[in-house]
Amino acid sequence: MHNFTPEDLVQYLYNETSLEKSSAIKTALENDWTLREMYDVIVSAQKRLEAFQLSPREEAVNNILRHAEKAIPELHPH
């Protein structure tokens, strides 16, 4: 019996494990309820992270645009 870590489960979730390791994790998830609960928590966290939307403050975007406008003459001297 393998002792899989949370990192192993995250790699499995994102299809970053070898075929052999994926098969072993899949079997372990079918037979080990504790591991399955840990995996379910990781899957739930992934779904919450995917639903979480981040966007920059308007002030930050405006600062970048102002800086870009000032830099344009520097890029194309006459």
Tens digit of pLDDT for each residue in 17-49? 999 999 999 999 999 999 999 999 999 999 998
Closest C-alpha among 76, 78, 13, 4 to residue 35: 4
* Mean pLDDT of the chain, nearest integer: 90
CA atoms within 13 A on the CB side of 16: 7
What per-residue confidence (pLDDT) applies to 76? 59
Instruction: Provide, rounded to the nearest whole percent, the portion of the chain with pLDDT above 90.
Output: 69
What per-residue confidence (pLDDT) applies to 28? 97
- When pLDDT is cut at 50, 70 and 90, the band that residue 77 belongs to is low
Provide the whole-model pTM: 0.66
